């Protein structure tokens, strides 16, 4: 059997893109149906081409002479090809008899190889099975060869990485979102076309796909629709006025100047200045409460999140309530469509009324924006249970809460006194189910904001906040206990912080004593 190098792992591990590969891909676009091709398309095409090139080389080499097989006999002067020696070619310059007790009688041919000036001997007319022999009628196409598709499955990731590196260096190819096209085949998109697209988006006020924008651009009809779409997408991506806010499945274009500032930059209330702490000191119980809080900054994967789910319930914390956002955590992010863009526009549907609201997925900073008005309309407190649910449309998510008969209940309320955050128990009318450990009200948001800004400017530490706020919470019940979740919720009123650094402070200070089930007490004398 003739061994194909393309069937070996070593070949693809040492694989390098050469100019002939790029020339082939160039011709592929010219001779094809004038459409863009994906990264995977080009990778498979290149692997297939390398296999075809090797087959053509084998046939050309074998055509130069007689294929060497130990079972055959050869005459002086006959040109013989040796595939096992890199298709070396040479004439037979001598034949002599040979004998081996195991193999019996055979012949030994002497071959002088081209350009090498050396003569080597090989067994011929060997009446014994040998791997270099071919069966009668056996084709050069071995039945057990891996197909280009199978080779692509095995080695395609490395080939694709090298291919993309080379394509990016070429001025002949251009790319947009995992597709490639020849620059010379792009439809001409000039400034006038882009101005028309801007006007259309301005009037519509919502994102539009390239197909919709093309209706008003009047491009030449001899350019394929796929090439037109790619050309417009590529040019829009180069123009700073436009922003692709679509999902991984489709680009949707919008104007950056029409986007809310809360999606262009991380809202200050969600901004966290990292705090160094040792997570190893938290212990199993605190780590469990950290997991339950499920803060997006922590970035932990909750158990069971590897399984796709149709709905998720979260607890609304103070920063997200004030900004009008939903955190993207391991529990929630799977509900929203995948995308590689900085921002993605979606539809949020009020589960109570069916009203459709504009939402924005900002994966870089792990939040979904667009619910400030909804929170206020339904008067949802910090600590409310929020339910997120899929719909048949991947770009539409239902947001809901769990209603209950509105009644006045005792909850923690944050106020500012003497430049510090204090807490009291007050009656508040609440019309939804909520987490009693996380619920927090406030009397004067403007004063709380001033306190928050001062804490940011002064660089107030989490350690200071824990020692200030814990006693405030402890005084609210006769036992003087404070739950870890309650402390987290309260501190986030004044400073954005994930649970880890807060819980670490409880273990760092002797004045905080664990009493079980996530509750702690404060011992002033231990300070």
CB 349 within 8 A of CB 356: yes
Q: Does domain 70-124 have CATH number 3.40.50.300?
A: no
Of 217, 136, 220, nearest to 185 by C-alpha is 220
Q: Cα angle at 384 between 269 and 469, to 5 degrees?
A: 55
Helix spans in 37-125 (H):
39-62
Of 209, 248, 247, 234, nearest to 344 by C-alpha is 247
Query: pLDDT 10s digit of each residue in the chain, 527 long?
Result: 566 889 899 999 999 999 999 999 999 999 877 899 999 999 999 999 999 988 888 887 777 788 888 888 888 988 888 877 777 888 888 999 988 888 888 888 998 887 767 888 898 888 878 777 776 655 555 557 889 999 999 999 999 999 999 999 999 999 999 999 999 999 999 999 999 999 999 999 999 999 999 999 999 988 999 999 999 999 999 999 999 999 888 899 999 999 999 998 999 999 999 999 998 899 899 999 999 999 999 987 655 554 568 999 999 999 999 999 999 998 999 999 888 888 999 999 999 999 999 999 999 999 999 999 999 999 999 999 999 999 999 999 999 999 999 999 999 999 999 999 999 999 999 999 999 999 999 989 999 999 999 999 998 999 999 999 999 999 999 999 999 999 999 999 999 999 999 999 999 998 999 999 999 999 877 66
User: Regarding the domain delimited by 295-404, which CATH topology (the fold level of the hierarchy) does it fall under?
Assistant: At1g16640 B3 domain (2.40.330)
Both tokens of residue 201? Answer: 């988006």
Q: Cα angle at 11 between 5 and 15, to 5 degrees?
A: 135
Of 513, 47, 496, nearest to 271 by C-alpha is 496
The Cβ of residue 343 has, within 10 Å, a number of other Cβ atoms equal to: 21
Instruction: State the DSSP code for 86.
Output: T
Answer positive or negative: Cα dihedral of 140, 145, 150, 155. Answer: negative
The rounded distance, in Å, linking the Cα atoms of 14 and 154 is: 14
The rounded distance, in Å, linking the Cα atoms of 255 and 266 is: 19
Residue 358 is predicted with a pLDDT of 94
Residue 59 is predicted with a pLDDT of 80
* Residue 316 region by backbone torsions, left for phi larger than 0, else alpha for psi between -120 and 50, else beta: beta
Answer positive or negative: Cα dihedral of 212, 217, 220, 221. Answer: positive
Phi, psi of 309 (to 5 degrees): -130, 155
Both tokens of residue 276? Answer: 């160094």
Residue-level length of the chain: 527
Domain boundaries, given as residue ranges, for the chain: 5-62+143-176, 70-124, 186-258, 295-404, 408-526
Query: Cβ contacts of residue 92 below 8 Å, gap of 6+?
Result: 74, 75, 76, 77, 78, 80, 109, 110, 111
Of 181, 184, 175, nearest to 227 by C-alpha is 181
Residue 67 is predicted with a pLDDT of 81
Of 465, 461, 480, 490, nearest to 524 by C-alpha is 480
CB 345 within 8 A of CB 245: yes
User: Regarding the domain delimited by 186-258, which CATH topology (the fold level of the hierarchy) does it fall under?
Assistant: Arc Repressor Mutant, subunit A (1.10.10)
Beta strands in 59-125 (DSSP E): 66-67, 79-82, 88-100, 104-112, 119-124
At 220-264, the pLDDT tens digits run 988 999 999 999 999 999 999 999 999 888 899 999 999 999 998
Strand order in the sheet with 420-432: 420-432, 403-417, 441-442
Residue 302 is predicted with a pLDDT of 59
Coil, strand, or helix at residue 45?
A: helix
């Amino acid at each position: 059997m003739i061994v194909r190098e393309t069937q070996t792992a070593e070949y693809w591990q040492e694989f390098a893109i050469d100019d002939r590969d790029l020339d082939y891909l160039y011709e592929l676009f010219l001779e094809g149906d004038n459409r863009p091709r994906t990264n995977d398309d080009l990778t498979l095409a290149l692997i297939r081409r390398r296999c075809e090139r090797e087959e053509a080389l084998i046939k050309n080499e074998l055509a130069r002479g007689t294929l060497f097989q130990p079972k055959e006999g050869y005459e002086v002067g006959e040109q013989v090809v040796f595939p096992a020696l890199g298709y070396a070619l040479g004439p037979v310059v001598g034949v002599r008899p040979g004998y081996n007790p195991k193999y019996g009688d055979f012949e030994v041919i002497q071959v002088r190889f081209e350009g090498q000036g050396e003569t080597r001997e090989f067994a011929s007319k060997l009446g014994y099975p040998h791997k270099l022999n071919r069966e009668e009628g056996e084709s050069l196409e071995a039945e057990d060869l891996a197909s280009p598709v199978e080779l692509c499955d095995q080695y395609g990731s490395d080939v694709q990485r090298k291919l993309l590196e080379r394509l990016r260096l070429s001025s002949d190819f251009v790319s947009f979102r995992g597709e490639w096209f020849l620059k010379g085949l792009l439809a001409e998109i000039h400034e006038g076309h882009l101005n028309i697209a801007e006007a259309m988006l301005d009037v519509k006020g919502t994102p539009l796909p390239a197909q919709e924008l093309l209706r008003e651009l009047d491009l030449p009809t001899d350019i394929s629709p796929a090439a037109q779409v790619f050309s417009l997408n590529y040019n829009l991506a180069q123009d700073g006025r436009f922003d692709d806010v679509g999902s991984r499945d489709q680009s949707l274009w919008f104007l950056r100047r029409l986007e809310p500032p809360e999606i262009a930059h991380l809202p200050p209330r969600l901004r966290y200045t990292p705090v160094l702490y040792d997570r190893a000191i938290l212990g199993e119980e605190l780590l469990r409460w950290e997991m339950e809080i499920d803060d997006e900054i922590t970035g932990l994967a909750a158990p069971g999140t590897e399984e796709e789910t149709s709905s998720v319930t979260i607890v609304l914390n103070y920063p997200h309530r004030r900004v009008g956002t939903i955190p993207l955590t391991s529990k929630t992010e799977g509900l929203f469509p995948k995308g590689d863009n900085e921002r993605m526009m979606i539809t949020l549907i009020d589960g109570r009324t069916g009203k459709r609201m504009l939402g924005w997925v900002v994966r870089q900073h792990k939040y979904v924006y667009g619910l400030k008005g909804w929170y206020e309309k339904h008067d949802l407190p910090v600590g409310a249970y929020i339910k997120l649910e899929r719909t048949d449309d991947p770009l539409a998510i239902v947001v809901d809460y769990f209603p209950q008969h509105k009644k006045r209940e005792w909850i923690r309320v944050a106020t500012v006194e003497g430049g510090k955050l204090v807490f009291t128990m007050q009656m508040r009318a609440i019309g939804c189910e909520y987490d009693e450990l996380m619920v927090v009200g406030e009397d004067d948001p403007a004063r709380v904001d001033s306190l928050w800004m001062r804490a940011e400017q002064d660089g107030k530490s989490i350690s200071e906040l824990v020692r200030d706020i814990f006693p405030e919470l402890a005084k609210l019940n006769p036992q003087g206990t404070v739950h870890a979740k309650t402390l987290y919720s309260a501190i986030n009123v004044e400073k954005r912080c994930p649970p880890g650094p807060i819980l670490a402070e409880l273990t760092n200070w002797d004045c905080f004593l664990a009493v079980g089930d996530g509750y702690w007490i404060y011992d002033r004398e231990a300070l």
